[in-house]
Structures are given as C-alpha cells and as structure tokens.
Amino acid sequence: MAAPLTVLFMPESAFGPTNQCIGLGDVLRRRGHRVVFAAEASWRGRLSPLGFEEDLVDLAPPADGPDEQDAGAFWKEFIRDTAPEFRKPTLAQLETFIRPTWQALVDGARYCEPQLRDILDRARPDVVVLDNVVAFPALLTSGAPYVRIVSCNPLEVPGDGIPPAFSGYPADDPSGWAVFRAEYDRTQRDLWADFNAWVVAQGAPPLADLQFVHESDVANLYVFPEEADYVTARPLGPTWHRMDSSVREVEEPVELPAALLDRPPGSALVYLSLGSLGSADVELMRRLIDVLARTPHRYVVSMGPQHADLDLPPTMWGAEFLPQTTIVPLVDLVITHGGNNTTTEALHFGKPTVLLPLFWDQYDNAQRLDELGLGVRLPAYEFTEAQLHGAIDRLLRDDQLRARLDALGTGIRARDGLRRGAEVIESVGHAHREQVAGRP
C-alpha cells in the first residue's frame, strides 16, 4: 500500500469553496492521508474537529475587536457593504461590484503570500489544491504539484462558444456577449495587469490573458453536472476532470419539527437558502419570508448570519446554520440564490429550483437551469408575489419535470463526483512521490 500523502487545501474564505474542500478532504482523510487546510483565519477551530490540520492565513490585517470571528467573516462583511450593487444589471456590476471584488481578492492574495510560504515550509505537502478564483504564487513555487478546483459555474473557464462569465446571458443568444466582454476588458484589464506583474515577480508563471488564476498543467477539477455542462460548445483539455457533484458527507442528520412533517394535502416542503452571504440581506430575507408565508406550503429556512433579525411564521422552521446536504433530499423544491454548491446539490438529489441570483456566478447558474428547463430564474429584488407563487406551483405540478430530475439525480449520484475528485488529487500526489523517488 502506498504511503499516506500530505494534501494541502487552500479554499476561498466563503462557505461554498470551503465546504467543497471539506468534502474532498474528508474522503482523503478517511483513506489515511494527512489533510492540511490553509484556510482563512475565521475558520479557526471549525476544521480541526473534522480531523484536519489547521494552518490558517489572514487575508487582511486583523481588525480591532474580539479575536473570534464568524467563519467566512471576510466575505460576509464585504458582501454586506456592497449589497446595493446587486440591484444593478450584470453589465453595470462589472465596474461597481466585480472590479471591487477582484480588488479585494488580489489584495488578500498579496497580503497572505509570506504567511502561505511559511505554511508550505511547515506542511511540506505532496500536492496543493486551490479552490479560489485568484492565484497564490506560493502554491506554484512550492515544488509540489498544483491542482485547481473550479467550484463556481464552469463559464469561469472561458471560450468563444459560451456566454461570458458573470453575465447571466443565454447560451443560445450571443448578441450581448461581445459588449459584455469589451466592458469586462475595459473595467478589469489594468487591475489584472498589475496583479499579473506581481505574480510573476513572486516567481510564478504569468497568468493567461484576463485570467486571475492559473490553470494547472497536471489536473483541474470542476463541479457541474454533465447534463448542464458547456463542453460541447467549449471543449476542455485532458487535464480537466468533471465532478458532476461534490456532496460532502460530514453533516449530521436533521430532525424536522412535526409541524413541517404533518402537512395538509397539497402542501409541499420547500427549502429556502440564499447562502451565507445572500441571507445577510435582512430586508430581502424578510420579504421572501412574508411572500412565502402566503402559500399553503411549509418551509425550512437557512436564516444565515442575521438570524436574530428574522421572525419565522408557524409554517416555517429554520436556524442560522442548517445541514443542507441532509435537508435537500427531504424537500420537494429548493429556492436558492444560485450558488454553485446549492445548485449542484439540488440537481444531485433531483430537486427543481427557483433561482434568485444576487452576484458573481449565481446569474450564470440561474440562467443555465432556466434555459435547460430544470428551474425558474427570477429577479431577486424585482420579483412579484404572483411570479414567485406561480413558479413554485408550476414546478411542483410538473410531473414530467419531476421524472426528468429523478433520472438526472440518479445518474449524478452514480457518477460519485466526490470520490472521483479525491482520486484525481490522490493520483497527482502519488505520481509526484514516484517522480521524486526516481530522481538520481
């Protein structure tokens, strides 16, 4: 049996990428490998109970105040301060939201570079895994093979035959693509050029044009089901490996209250989650709760970081954090912001979705499921009560769609993306070990 590997994960601070890496890391840990997380410092004490080593980084100078931060606090605070931008069209967001987001990301990469070099010296990994949208040069210069994970919508990997990332534009209508790409170039190029120069100065290879993160030359993973993928229009090279889903197996079962389980005839069970970031918009959450309370259905609500400011009616039950991967199989429908984790988990379990995108790749996920007939996209702030009620009723009554989603979910689960991804990482690490052992 091959000797255990040391695998170092560096996920983006937000819950989605970190949970994605937790799922992969748990598979590797149970196979006997040592798993180290170089996550953002607000995750301190939350990863070691899962059997991982924590060797964490600060993405910015520590703020004054209590030492303890909520997990993912870096992005929760950033999103809270920029939430008004989510009401703008995606084209307008390029300058007022996407650019400041890239700026915050590259600032974090610059700040933590010395810390990351020290972590790599301590960990001495056999393989490093990055689930982020910006480069960290230390990962490219550590001497260990580098694996990239794309846990956002795969439009993040560009191509002429697919819509531009962050646009939410349809795949069958390219009329707006060129304008969006030109505006992206205008608003991001100088920031990208400056970051690229810094990356090269740290000893890492240059970035591809207008790309803020390196493609791996050994293995790249992305999380999206085959049935919704874009590879026909934008083929990927042999280093790319699709994980149709990546449903972590570390969450505990949930016991729902009797009021939700003992439902009257015609009442469905619906899961509402805007993610850890979207749910921080209290006014939006209050409006959704109010509108959904005027339906005959019962709801499980992921209340998020501002849970103390939300009141749920008797037809709803929720908490700040919920074990999403154990709840989604129990419900009839998912209402989501369109984050990649929730979107792919809904498909993994064969559930229809109503998608209310707010930022980043959520527009792309919402558009993709809508255009494939697997869900309904609605504007997060402008939807009417009739639109939301109508979308819920239409999806719940569509027996053909339910049969289609049942079959799709069965196929996704059979392909077992979580273990497929772990096997790719494991094979990269073992190949590196063998290469090192064979050197004179």
- The domain ranges of the chain are 6-247+416-437, 258-415
- Alpha-carbon distance of 34 to 6, in angstroms, equals 5
Burial of residue 196 (CB within 10 Å: 0-12, 13-18, 19+) is buried
pLDDT digits (tens, 9 = 90+) for 87-141: 899 999 999 999 999 999 999 999 999 999 999 999 999 999 999 999 999 999 9
pLDDT digits (tens, 9 = 90+) for 16-58: 788 889 999 999 999 999 999 999 888 899 899 999 999 999 8
Q: Hey, what amino acid is at 4? A: P
Pairing of strands 269-273, 240-243: unpaired
Question: Whole-prediction pTM value?
Answer: 0.91
pLDDT tier at 80, thresholds 50, 70, 90: low
Average pLDDT over residues 316-332: 88
pLDDT reading at 6 higher than 60: yes
Name residue 242's beta-bridge partners: 222
**In this predicted model, which residue has the larger pLDDT, 265 or 439?**
265
Residue 247: what pLDDT? 81
Is 258-415 a domain of CATH 3.55.40.20? no
Is 6-247+416-437 a domain of CATH 3.20.19.10? no
Residue 270: what pLDDT? 96
Residue 3: what pLDDT? 86
pLDDT reading at 65 higher than 60: no
Average pLDDT over residues 182-211: 98
Residue 69: what pLDDT? 52
Residue 66: what pLDDT? 46
pLDDT reading at 234 higher than 60: yes
